Each structure stands twice: as structure tokens, then as C-alpha cells.
Structure 1
Amino acid sequence: MTVNIRPARAEERDTLGALKLRSSLAWGDHVEELQALPEAREVPAAHLPHVVVAEIAGEIVGFVTVLPDDVATLAELEDLFIAPEAWRKGIGSMLLAEAERRAAALGARSLRVVAGARARPFYEASGFRFAGTVATYLAPAVQLRKDLA
């Protein structure tokens, strides 16, 4: 399995939005709320320069978005979604490593992410640490932070 990591293209916004929703719904949590929430199926055009995709055999199987923060030394991991059929194949870890590289290239010394209960162990296994609790539209979540080398 060869995974190609590359910048997203403008014409892929709909594909990315569909993947985002499909991945979110795959757990079976908050189904009605997610289906009613436009943000659950959208990747804003303004985010596209900050989106990197993973593809296998020309098909997008995941993506990550890293946004610069108002604080110059901090970057925000906005989205990390993997197609359910590609889960547990290391693609999330590859995209997370790319997100860390991109955050460092922005000048960030740390990367922040808001994660639900299901995603928290993945981020913690990758070196993120608890930094607080936040309210989200769907449920309370944790804010995690990782210092970058």
C-alpha cells in the first residue's frame, strides 16, 4: 500500500466534505446532529491552502488541516479525518506527522487540537497532553497540545 501525501486541490472540496461526514458518522454517535450540521460536511475554501490529503491509488482516503493561530507560536489542527475503510492502517499517523511538520514550518512551537473521547487516545499516544476542556456543538471535548521539536 503506497500512500501519497499532497496538498489538497480546490476542486476536491466536495470530496473532502463527504469524507469528513462519512468518517464522523461511522462511529454511530450524534448521527442526527451531524447530518443537520452544515460544518460536518464542509471544508471552507479559506482552509484549502492548509489542507493536505492522503491518497491510495489516486483515491483520497484522508486529510488534515493545520491553521496558523493568532498566537504566532501556536498552530491549530482543525481537521483530521480518515475514510472508515482506511482506518487502522497508519494513515492518521502519517497525516498527523505531516501536520506537525507543517505547523513547525509556520513557526509554531506547539500544535493544539480539540478532540472527542474516541480520538483522544490517538492524540495522546502521539504525544499530545491534556490542556483543558471545551464546549462543542455536539458534546464537551478536550483540548490537547503537543510541543513541537
Structure 2
Amino acid sequence: MKLFASLLFILFAISACGPSAQDREVRESARQSLLDQNASLANTAPANQLPAAAAVNTSVSHYICPNNCEGSGGDAEGTCPVCGSAYLHNQAYHSTPAATTPTSTPDPPQNAAGVWHYTCSNGCEGGAGSAIACANCGEMLVHNALYHN
């Protein structure tokens, strides 16, 4: 009986220390938002044609808080000053045109030196001109800063 009571107490203590329902809800919402963004990236028209900086709406933040905190968001990656969460990329920033839409210049997937614009973080060979799924492992390709050198 003592063993049963001890096990019951331990089980209760472990369940009480777990994440709250609100934490799980916030995390699930952020996870779903990322999945939606990745799906929209995979379904967009030629992704190597990005709008010029002047073509995007300046009233939409480029990076936003996953918890939608008021007064958060900005033009660069960072953390939310309200809740401390890492900012997420806001695809709506690129999808919202300004009053006039200038023509976009196609960006080749490889530069003159043969360096890919987006590469696999797992080190798979090859790359692409946009953040799409890797052809070898399926992970999303990440931006390669060496492309711009």
C-alpha cells in the first residue's frame, strides 16, 4: 500500500510539472503557423523572383512574435520584448504589395561561382533558388550567405 501511495504521488508530481494547457496551445499554434508558411512556400510561383524592397508594404512586420504580442515585430530577427519568444518570419510581408509594384528581377539559383542560394542544412549535395524541401532528405533548404559574396 505504501508503494502504491508513493507511485501515485510521483505520478501526480510529474503531471503537475508538465506544460500547461495554455503553453501547449501556444506551441501548437506556432507549430501550425510554421507548417502553413512552409506549405505556402512550396506552392508559390517561381520563388527566385522576390519583390524589390520598395514593393512590400511597410505597415506589415517582416518578423513577428508567435504569440501575437502587441507592440512586437520588426524588420530583423530577434526576440519579442513582451514575452521573450524568438520572432518568426512573416510570409505576409512578402505577399503584401505596396501601392505600386515594380518589376522583379529573376535571381538565378546559383551565382557565377556556382554557389547555391539555398542549401540543405544536413549537407546534402545540390541546392535551389528558394527555400523548398531538399530533394535528398526532405528538410527545408536554408539561406546560404556565401551566395552573396
Compute the TM-score of the two structures, normalised by the length of structure 2: 0.22
Identify, as 1 or 2, the structure richer in helix. 1
Which structure's CA Rg is the greater one?
Answer: 2
Compute the TM-score of the two structures, normalised by the length of structure 1: 0.22
